Amino acid sequence: MRHSTLRQLEVFEAIARLGNFTRAAEELFLTQPTVSMQIKKLTEAVGLPLFEQVGKKIYLTDAGRALHGFTRELLDQFARFEMTLADMKGLKQGALRLAVVTTAKYFAPRLLGPFCQQYPGIEMSLKVSNRERVLERLADNLDDLYILGQPPEGLDVVAEPFLENPLVVLAPVNHPLAGKKKIPLARVAEEPFLLREPGSGTRMAVERLFAERGLKLKVRMELGSNEAIKQAIVGGLGVSVLSRHTLALDAPMGQLAILDVEGFPIERHWYVAYPSGKQLSVVARTFLDYLKQAPKHVQDVPCHHAEQGECPLLPAKPAGEKVVSA
């Protein structure tokens, strides 16, 4: 085992992660015979089979699973060491793996753009999925940092708020409640409601609020994305509650109204989180420090909503009804 090389372990990790020799070869820019040869040598060094093939699928054996855990730690440490070296040389270089919830995609570009310009040597990868998937990735320690709408319960994590995330009630602009003041929550509960898919953080917050008030939503439809919900609202299928940030990109032009409902906006925050005990890389630390200035960065990047005097990513003016025209 001591004679196996880092390259062999890299090849093994890629196969274990991708479940496939061909894809691992492609990812590492190697030929398939090279990959097979590396695994043959590694298997000989370990002295036990690492994979078993059932039909077309490849599974890890017990020894394979043990080696996979060890390999991931080793490769992580190696990447951190490379970044420490780069830091000693005065370069901010390396990779930053981020996993963010779907709704974060509305502000992430405004934050990542200036960061990438400031540190062109940093290679950024961004996984966008709903809250449940992001939490699974966090539990598996797959990324450097995670951005989500509320610190996860039951997981041992460090979580820091860095930006406000107000949830608002949205209706079509010609809805009878548009323009009304202080609409009771119970009145909203009478409207056909469009709800995000199970596993969504937005959905969790909405369900919690209505349940706390003893109200039941009249769910007309479940939809798997904020975009689909905005389109369905404009199509007259119902009202919904979404992050105000979802109005920052491609909001249907002038066709949505934010209703003035008691208890709204729901004041949430965006959090950046990582498992406690995780040793952050230099690059991840740099990004964390950068996020602490997030409101300033968001403000600094010009926004196409500025002409209306209102950017969905900045704190709202204290007005009642607002018509949103993107």
Residue 23 or 208 with smaller CB distance to ligand PGA: 208
| Token couple for 22 | 């061909």
Helical H segments across 140-241, by residue range: 185-189, 201-212, 226-234
Q: How far apart are CA 191 and CA 197, in angstroms?
A: 19
Least separation in angstroms between CB 146 and ligand PGA: 11
Contact (Cβ atoms closer than 8 angstroms) between residue 251 and residue 227: no
The two three-digit tokens of residue 229, written as one number: 């919900």
Give 201 or 252: the residue with its C-beta nearer to ligand PGA: 201
Q: Does 286 bind ligand PGA (CB under 6 A)?
A: no
Nearer to ligand PGA, 7 or 203 (CB): 203
* Sign of the torsion angle spanned by Cα atoms 140, 163, 203, 246: negative
> Residue 294 Cβ, how far from ligand PGA at the closest point, in Å?
15
* Contact flag: residue 71 with ligand PGA (CB under 6 A): no
Contacting residues for 298 by C-beta, under 8 A, at least 6 apart: 107, 110, 111, 163, 313, 314
- Residue among 143, 110, 120, 106 at smallest CA distance from 226: 106
Give buried/exposed letters for 166-192 (b at 16+ CB in 10 A, else e).
bbbbbbbbebebbeeeebebeebeebe
Map tokens 């491609």 to a residue: 250
- Smallest gap from Cβ 316 to ligand PGA, in A, equals 17
Q: Rounded to whole angstroms, how far apart are CA atoms 105 and 109?
A: 7
Q: Which of 4, 71, 103, 255 binds ligand PGA (CB under 6 A)?
A: 103
Pick 267 or 307: Cβ nearer ligand PGA: 267
**Which of these, 186, 144, 182, lies nearest to 283 by C-alpha position?**
144
Going residue by residue from 124 to 163, which x/- string records binding to ligand PGA, judged by CB under 6 A? ------xx----------------xxx-------------
Q: How many residues bind ligand PGA (CB under 6 A)?
A: 13
Strand partners, 268: 165
Residue 102 binds to ligand PGA (criterion: CB under 6 A): yes
Q: What tokens appear for 254 in the block?
A: 């002038």
Which residue number is nearest to ligand PGA in terms of Cβ? 201
Task: Note whether 246 binds ligand PGA by CB under 6 A.
Answer: no
Per-residue binding string, ligand PGA, 202-241, x by CB under 6 A, is x---------------------------------------
Nearest approach, Cβ of residue 196 and ligand PGA (Å): 5
145-148 vs 94-101, strand pairing mode:
parallel
- Is 196 an interacting residue with respect to ligand PGA (CB under 6 A)? yes
Closest approach of ligand PGA to the CB of residue 134, in Å? 7
Which of 25, 58, 67, 101 binds ligand PGA (CB under 6 A)? It is 101
Q: Which amino acid is at 77?
A: Q
Name the segment binding ligand PGA (CB under 6 A); options: 57-65, 113-121, 154-162, 195-203.
195-203
Least distance to ligand PGA, CB of residue 152, Å: 10
Q: Which residues bind ligand PGA (CB under 6 A)?
A: 101-103, 130-131, 148-150, 196, 200-202, 268
